[in-house]
Amino acid sequence: MLYVMVQFRVKGGHVQEAERLIRGFIDNIRNNEPGTLAYQSFQFNHDIQEFVHLMCFTGEDADEKHKDSPYIKQFVDTLYPICESEPRFHHLGLVAEK
């Protein structure tokens, strides 16, 4: 399994646009990526401009399929310009789970 976290902050006035983009993006993942076991988007309660995405892939192939999809290019091209800075990606190692 491959775990990835992405954190980003959108510019003021763009929160609703970001939420709409994220929902559409995750719909595409849900419908096209069986190797993406989980893709979750969270918004900080104390700062609604800040988002974290957590994803779990079956392996490198599923991650590559995700990265190569046409809808990720569209998502990146529309999300990045409304972010305060470039999103930060972190690959995670699982310590424990239930």
pLDDT digits (tens), the chain, 98 positions:
999 999 999 999 999 999 999 999 999 999 999 999 999 999 999 999 999 999 999 999 999 999 999 999 999 999 999 999 999 999 999 999 99
Task: Name the nearest CA neighbour of 15 among 50, 39, 46.
Answer: 50
d(CA 36, CA 1): 10
Question: Which uninterrupted H or E stretch holds 54?
Answer: strand 50-57
- Residue 73 vs residues 77, 78, 92: alpha-carbon distances, Å: 6, 9, 23
CA–CA separation, 18 and 36 (whole Å): 21
| pTM of the complete model | 0.93
Query: Which residue ranges form the domains of the chain, and what is each CATH number?
Result: 2-92 (3.30.70.100)
